[in-house]
Amino acid sequence: MQKGDPTAEKVIAAINGLGDLKRFKEAVFCGFGEPTYKVAEMLAICDYLHEKGIPTRLNTNGQGNLINKRDIVPELAGKLDLINISLNASCYEKYQKICRSQFREAGFDSMLEFAKLCKKKGLNVRFSIVDCIGAEEVEACKRLAASLNIPLYIRDYITDS
């Protein structure tokens, strides 16, 4: 853990400061950075949230196995109610242009394998893309997701203004 990174205990304390948690539909692990870099902390927070009756979702790049240098999928079972994997593109070349994965081609391949492992483990998993990638690429992503028998969620592109 890097200096300044919050511990699970600090995050749980912050959650407790939010008041009645029942007003939240779910807790989502996403945002500035990849949540699976802190998989142990994330799973401890999932346990706490589940004790409070709050469903959990992971938004991930799907490279957690590469990041952690082990298969983390078994650890996710029973902890996350939905795993949303950012597919972003239908092939490595387009994916790398968008995502610039530090793992290069292994990043795209690992993301697909992670999705397959999640599905095999019985986890609720889906891919997601943003609709701004063009109609042809959306169709290619639909075909890829269908070939892996994993649902695809297509999000609307939202601008800041």
Proportion of the chain in helix, strand, coil states, percent, rounded to 5? 50, 15, 35
pLDDT of residue 31: 75
Residue 113 domain flag:
yes
Q: What is the mean pLDDT of residues 109-121?
A: 97
Q: Which residues span the domain enclosing 82?
A: 8-155
pLDDT for 161: 60
Q: What is the model's pLDDT at position 3?
A: 66
**15-40: pLDDT as tens digits:** 999 999 999 999 999 977 899 999 99
Structural domain total, the chain: 1
Whether residue 3 lies inside any domain: the answer is no
Beta bridge partner(s), residue 83: 58, 125
Would 82 be classed as within a structural domain?
yes
The answer to whether position 86 is within a domain reads: yes
Is the CA virtual torsion 128, 129, 131, 136 positive or negative?
negative
Tell me if 161 is assigned to some domain.
Answer: no
Q: Per DSSP, which regions of the chain are E strands?
A: 27-29, 56-60, 82-86, 125-130, 152-155
Q: What is the pLDDT of residues 68-107, one digit of tens each?
A: 999 999 999 999 999 999 999 999 999 899 888 899 889 9
Q: Identify the CA nearest to 83 among candidates 133, 52, 109, 46.
A: 46
Residue 74 lies inside a defined structural domain of this protein? yes
CATH number at residue 108: 3.20.20.70
Please report, as a single letter, which amino acid is at residue 131: D
Q: Is 130 within 8 Å of 122 (Cβ atoms)? A: no
CA distance 44 to 75: 11
- Residue 4 pLDDT more than 80? no
Does residue 2 belong to any structural domain of this protein? no
Question: What mean pLDDT do residues 122-143 have?
Answer: 95
> Domain for residue 160, yes or no?
no
In contact, 102 and 50? CB cutoff 8 Å: no
For residue 26, count other CB atoms closer than 10 A to its CB: 11
